[in-house]
Amino acid sequence: MSTRTRSAKATLAASASDQLASELRPGQSVELLKELHILTRDGKLNQDSRRKLKQVYHLYQFIEKLLLELPTGDGGITLADHGAGKSYLGFILYDLFFKARASGHIFGVETRAELVEKSRSLATRLGFARMTFLNLSVAESVESMRLPDQIDIVTALHACDTATDDAIAFGLRKRARFMVLVPCCQAEVARFLNQHKALSLSRTPLAELWRHPLHTREIGSQLTNVLRCLYLEACGYQVAVTELVGWEHSMKNELIIARFTGKKKRNAAERLRALLEEFGLLSLLGTRFVLPADE
């Protein structure tokens, strides 16, 4: 190999290294980004991985603002990530926020034992000591003694169907200051709408909105999230709803951020009841939606 060729390759390598450094946050773990397939195995950024990295930063920015509002206290901030999967979110949060702090703890809750074991192994390898991974369902975690009595932030990204509701129940039980939710596959309400479709069609023209199966699924999904927002407001949370990423990346894109204020909105409870009655879903009251007056 000629001196000129070696020099050109060295220049290209230096350029790639500088480009990568400009994309990453100070102190960010390259090994972690490789494990999460945000970087290629040789540590490079291609067009797809650059897009993924931007999505990671976009999500992190939402949660970082909430983390910075919290007092650290003696034990630091606690965060529970439900339906954690490969703990993609938990690892990113630890790497970018918790790692540089002396306290704080992240709990990843996941039903698939093999993913829990992989997360434990990766955390050990990276030296992320203040991460705990629990092989539990979201519903089981509400009663589990392996989680503290109070959790500051509850996250549930793409927790399927009623697992998002279980995460909300967990957040209420743990007196969470914030909940960050990206609902997925909201099928429960759609099933109820489908069961009572004939009666609804005879009772109200609104039922035309879910007469066709595709519309049943879409209306059920939309209605589920509206009910969840009203429920959170009725339980003392201020709620904001926005997009997580562009719709071209995912159709499961609705981000619900709930901030505890302690001001329980009677109007939200009344509207929740009215919607449940209008759509023939009153059986969910007192089970899925336990309003403060019903406790």
On whether both 222 and 76 belong to a single domain, the answer is: no
On whether both 66 and 170 belong to a single domain, the answer is: yes
Domain of 48?
Answer: 27-183
End residue of a domain, out of 183, 218, 253: 183
On whether both 69 and 169 belong to a single domain, the answer is: yes
Question: If the chain, 295 residues long, is cut into consecutive pieces of 10 residues, what is the mean pLDDT of each piece?
Answer: 55 48 79 85 77 78 94 88 91 94 95 96 96 94 94 90 90 97 86 84 84 89 94 98 66 86 96 93 92 68
Q: Give the DSSP letter string of the chain.
A: --HHHHHHHHHHHHHHHHHHHHHSPTT--HHHHHHTTSS-TTS---HHHHHHHHHHHHHHHHHHHHHHHS--TTT--EEEEET-TTTHHHHHHHHHTGGGSSS-EEEEEES-HHHHHHHHHHHHHHT-TTEEEEE--HHHHHH-TTS-S--SEEEEEEEETTHHHHHHHHHHHTT-SEEEEEEE---HHHHHHHHTHHHHHHH-GGGGGGSSHHHHHHHHHHHHHHHHHHHHHHTTEEEEEEESS-TTT-S--EEEEEEE-S---HHHHHHHHHHHHHTT-GGGBTTTB--GGG-
Which pLDDT value is given to residue 187?
A: 83
Which pLDDT value is given to residue 75?
A: 82
Which pLDDT value is given to residue 38?
A: 82
Which pLDDT value is given to residue 47?
A: 78
On whether both 133 and 64 belong to a single domain, the answer is: yes
CATH code, domain with 88: 3.40.50.150
Which pLDDT value is given to residue 51?
A: 75
Which pLDDT value is given to residue 276?
A: 94
On whether both 94 and 208 belong to a single domain, the answer is: no
